[in-house]
Chain A
């Protein structure tokens, strides 16, 4: 019943699972932020997540190594990122379209490999929860913040790291310059192409990790199209977060909380049609983008291939 939603246990549950559910968004959005800040729009995030999810799940299932699964996801993500980087940097492809191509490829490929190599629904023992000593014993707070698996902790830890890299390192300076005015960066001897290869490959790795966090840490299964649009929401979150890691953290939490609420509504049997509940995160995506995009300005060179004169 509706009143159940307001009990302490349920509220703590909603927040706690909201934090866990933010994980795949964080990986994918932080990676996409790097890519977009350097001027490359990668719409293939969803496909890269699916491939990462499958690779990690397969290795975990067949070889019993979760870290091996993470490594597999990283490799697959890097390969996909490399392909996207090549298509956008060297072939000057229209990035929106080629990204959708990579999404469809990842969707079909992960399903094909799943059918051929696994075939049936199986589960793995995912990363276990790590209870931080003492902190996890604090009532409420402990369950919300300090009782998650390692991939969740890493995702949140990467937020300040990403901020630091973008704003305090020479690499970050190059990334921001390349996304804003590649001609200026080029005239100062910064290799626009090299920077963009780095960010797009990094984005691929992060997306794949986001997928892996679903298949071997949160849900511990692999299914066809298991991300179901999550990768596209991750792209939207980059806009929502104003291309800044902290903004993305806020956006990821907002969406995952709504998602979590929606799940609990179904679990508690509150009489709202499940279809409506399922729609909530997506409706929120649209509303939030309508409200937010008019205010923040993205990288000027976003989705424009770079070509030097001559």
Chain B
């Protein structure tokens, strides 16, 4: 009975037309999942309704994108599907049959695989060991890595993934690690893959490669769920798109029938003006200058080496790079939190190499740190206390060692108003604010001093669209006011939207500095992967 109601198997080709596929078997040998349906899933966390009666489905041969802001409930929903969380209400059907998924093991047995945003790989093990982990071995108690390796190579060949089974995970690039995750899922017989923000850590070229793999998999009959908050990627790769907001499903449409503006409106709940371009500002003298700066890194691998950069007054210099290429070291070196091992740093005409953060404060250098909860605020301090962290020892906030609470309070009120920080009161502890409001607090403290130079590290990471656009607008405002701004970001869209010039960092070295006109996504992408186009051409 059930087999009779199975829909025809088909996939959407590049022209968005359905094509029939005869085989019931996927290239990995697994039987395909014709459709998977989630019905009325509800999940409550203390004080939060994370998923509110959500319906969602995915069919064999399509990419169904799940779009939403941070906290919209995407990850919760997928963790329920993968058995990590248990729903309070609702049901899951695979091929029209109800299934119970209590653990990742159950999900794997049902043919569901998940590529987590933070890879679930053991860095100190080899590819084959990672794949073999948790599986029964053909040799009983002994591992059978040779057999596993052979199968990995077979699977990798289907999608041209090129993976050495004997390589250690820590030796692989992020893109390669993601392929290991895909192989791991395929090895376990996944017919439905959940890809949780898979592009967040990739270079543009790696994104294209991933999309090519995804398109091939769809053609072969896999069902793919693609989670993202990047609109253009959703539009490029998905066949259908579902938007979540505040734990509710807002809409499900064929992607071809929606626009970027529609999707943004559904995501946020109101219209959003994107900062796409900005007028030229008056670029002045060089304010921040790095000359052959080097430093050590924490993990004992490469630190900064011979970094030379100049940022002018009224200019935003974007630092593009894949995560973990010494962006943190760069920010910390300039802001006095890390020792240099060589080179000189100048703020205006004065050398500031080796000065402590306190002295840099005096010289009007501001820092918007990447880890805002760790380096940006003190979690258990109130909003007011956090507001005056940098200048608490100075008039008018204190006199002869006593804090002047009235002035602090007035100052805080002013900034809360000016920077639209949503907080119940000045006395609220920083840890109780949302991510976006914590960032506004940091921004208020760092920017309201009218600094000469600003180091902004991942200033919009983890923020929703509204807060991100606000932060970006504030940075542009400071640029107009004549500050020299270094914008370190892993989000290329942000780099392109805000930067006057773009420097690309790779393994602690500056690969090149490009003007806006020179910088194409392809060119920047290659540099981010450590490939120097000119050198390559001449070689």
> Residues on A close to B: CB < 8 A?
168-174, 176-177, 180-181, 183-190, 300, 308-310
Complex partner residue of B108 from A173, A183, A189, A309, CB under 8 angstroms: A189
Complex partner residue of B143 from A168, A180, A184, CB under 8 angstroms: A168
By the criterion of a CB under 8 Å from any partner CB, how many residues of chain B are at the interface? 28
Distance of B136 from chain A, by nearest CB (Å) = 8
User: Is B134 positioned at the interface, with any CB of A under 8 Å from its CB?
Assistant: yes
User: Is B103 positioned at the interface, with any CB of A under 8 Å from its CB?
Assistant: yes
Question: What chain A residues lie within 8 Å of B133 (beta carbons)?
Answer: 173-174, 177, 184-185, 188, 190
Known contacts A185-B134, A187-B120, A309 near B84 by CB under 8 Å? yes
Contact between chains at B85 and A309 (CB < 8 Å)? yes
Contact between chains at A168 and B86 (CB < 8 Å)? no
Contact between chains at A169 and B141 (CB < 8 Å)? yes
Query: Which residue of chain B has the shortest Cβ distance to A294 in the bound complex?
Result: B300
Distance of A184 from chain B, by nearest CB (Å) = 4
Contact between chains at A180 and B84 (CB < 8 Å)? no
Contact between chains at A174 and B134 (CB < 8 Å)? yes
Chain A CB within 10 Å, residue with most, of B85, B124, B132, B135: B124
Query: Which residue of chain B has the shortest Cβ distance to A188 in the bound complex?
Result: B134
Contact between chains at A310 and B104 (CB < 8 Å)? no
Contact between chains at B122 and A185 (CB < 8 Å)? yes
Distance of B318 from chain A, by nearest CB (Å) = 33
User: Is B5 positioned at the interface, with any CB of A under 8 Å from its CB?
Assistant: no
In the complex, chain B residues 97-126 whose Cβ is within 8 Å of any chain A Cβ? 103-105, 108, 114, 116, 119-125
Distance of B190 from chain A, by nearest CB (Å) = 12
Contact between chains at A310 and B124 (CB < 8 Å)? no
User: Is B515 positioned at the interface, with any CB of A under 8 Å from its CB?
Assistant: no
Contact between chains at B105 and A176 (CB < 8 Å)? no
Besides the contacts A173-B129, A187-B84, A190-B133, what 20 more A-B pairs have beta carbons closer than 8 Å?
A: A168-B142, A170-B132, A170-B141, A173-B143, A174-B134, A177-B130, A180-B123, A181-B121, A181-B122, A184-B119, A184-B130, A184-B133, A185-B133, A185-B134, A186-B104, A187-B116, A188-B134, A188-B184, A190-B134, A309-B84
Question: What chain A residues lie within 8 Å of B104 (beta carbons)?
Answer: 186-189
A76 vs B86: C-alpha distance when bound (angstroms): 39
Question: What chain A residues lie within 8 Å of B141 (beta carbons)?
Answer: 169-171
Query: Which residue of chain B has the shortest Cβ distance to A165 in the bound complex?
Result: B141
Distance of B379 from chain A, by nearest CB (Å) = 20
Question: What chain B residues lie within 8 Å of A174 (beta carbons)?
Answer: 133-134
Contact between chains at B124 and A184 (CB < 8 Å)? no
Question: What chain B residues lie within 8 Å of A180 (beta carbons)?
Answer: 122-125
Distance of A4 from chain B, by nearest CB (Å) = 46
A189 vs B132: C-alpha distance when bound (angstroms): 12
A187 vs B122: C-alpha distance when bound (angstroms): 11
Question: What chain B residues lie within 8 Å of A181 (beta carbons)?
Answer: 120-123
Distance of A130 from chain B, by nearest CB (Å) = 30
Distance of A226 from chain B, by nearest CB (Å) = 37
Distance of B401 from chain A, by nearest CB (Å) = 37
In the complex, chain B residues 131-189 whose Cβ is within 8 Å of any chain A Cβ? 132-135, 137, 141-143, 184
User: Is B445 positioned at the interface, with any CB of A under 8 Å from its CB?
Assistant: no
Query: Which residue of chain A has the shortest Cβ distance to B85 in the bound complex?
Result: A310
Contact between chains at A169 and B142 (CB < 8 Å)? yes
Distance of B131 from chain A, by nearest CB (Å) = 9
Distance of A261 from chain B, by nearest CB (Å) = 35
A183 vs B141: C-alpha distance when bound (angstroms): 23
